[in-house]
Structure 1
Amino acid sequence: MGRKSKQLHNEAMPSSQNIVDLLRATPRPAKMVPAQEASEHSSDDSMEEAAEATTKRRSTRRESTPPPEQMPASKADIIHLLKELKAQSAADVALIREDLSAMTARIQAVEVNEAATTAKIETLQREMAQLKKTSTILENKVAALEDAKRQRNLRTRGIPEAVQDPKVTHYLRRLLASLLFQAKAKSILLEFHFRIPKPPRAPADVPRDLLIVFQSLWEKLLVQEAARETNMSLKVLSYLSIMTSPGRHSMKDITQLLRTKGIQYRWGPGCRLSVSNEGKRVHITQASDSVIFL
């Protein structure tokens, strides 16, 4: 029994000689050369490219395929859509109307404010004109008061600085005698005289003006008129306030024309010039007024 099983086992197990014979009898796969490997790789690539091209054609065909036609909208759908459009349009119009109403209210408020501002500006302009007129009147009154204090004063220009007291009194007496008759010159009384400062822009070699104060206004006017009609190197001027002097100086051409035509005139308070024309008394306060009779 033991011998039979061992014999069967030996028959079932192949021997090493049998294994070698089986390996020799089994056909081996042929070894591929590089050219065959390259051809196989190229065939694989061509197959992949063909697959990709097929996929692209399918996707292109799928994209180019038009969608199926939609079902036509029903009447109820159209009515519902119109209602929605009308509601949206009504809401938009309501918003626009609100904006327009707010804008109109703002414009009206601006117009009201503009009208009020214009009225205030006009009121201020009238008040400014009235204040300017009042200021001019007050300035003229102040100038008239200042001139009233100086109406007996005369300013002589051109007396050398070397002429000092007591030579000044003797110099003035000789000046009066050259302007008036000897008897009148002796009767004229002088209160006092003094030098007044020069303007800042006056040359250094020009002597200071000498201010003469007369006791009588009539005597002062007499000397002034005589000096105006006499040609001499000295100048005899009125000593006016700082507000009156520029105004009278601006009317210098008018007074020169009046003297040329032989028309009598007389200075009043401030810059008012009284002119006798054809038996009438005319008052000139500015250069444009002379056009009336010149």
Structure 2
Amino acid sequence: MVRGKTRQTTVKTPKTNPRSAPDQLEAFFTPRAHHTPRADTPKMAASPAGSGFSLPELGAATARIERTLADIPTKADIREIVSEVREALQCEISGLRTEVGHVEARVRGLEQAAEQAAAIMQNSPGDPAVSSAIWRRLDDLDNRSRRHNLRIRGVPEQETALHRYLSGLFNAIVGPRTVSPGDLARVHRALRPQPDSPNAPPRDIVCYFTDFALKDHIYVKARSKSFWTFGGIDLQIFNDILPSTMQARRMLRPVTQALRTAEITYKWGFPLSLSVRQEDTWVTLRSPRE
């Protein structure tokens, strides 16, 4: 029997570190290393390197603040501004008070005149002189509102471009390029029904001039003839007055015919009146109202 070699047992290297792991308490109090973000992939923009101010910049900023504070108005400045505004308002209010006082005085005078007229009407309701005076005054007010108007008679109803037609007519009377369509603010036919037959006379045309001097100049020229022929049609030009005034003037027709026969100059006036010139003086005649 062969004896083999005796096997010697050797101490092998342990597979694990013989040092035991720290217990849980020691691991809790052990500080952890901070994780630094990667420099090549920043997620936010980098802040300025330095945020401090130098001494010159701080001095300039302080000077600007001091100037701003110096420009702020003080209590004395505010009091002065308020005083100036108060004085200006008082001046304006005093002027308004004066104007209101004048208006009040005029209104008071008108009220007194109306009361006197009412009292006169109550005391003499059947007095023809009072009634005639009232109607004359109303007619006068209405006629004065028509002083810028001219009435043209004889224009055919087929004529529709009235502004251009009348400007041509007036230029034929006073001279070319004197009247333009813009000088006629309003042009319209008389307010009555349209003629129902071709033989019926056309409606009159009433035109309003913006310039009274131009209207008066045309009327003075137009009075030199009874009829004006324009475009082969005979036309007449009159002042625009109330029908009641025309009726009252017809009552004075015998007088005007006698004046024409005697070659005496006369003219119509407002309110309704007839003035006759005799030896460089004017004598006014009035017609009673029907």
The TM-score, its normalising length taken from structure 2, stands at: 0.48
Based on CA coordinates, which of the two structures has the bigger radius of gyration?
Answer: 1
The TM-score, its normalising length taken from structure 1, stands at: 0.47
Higher helix share: 1
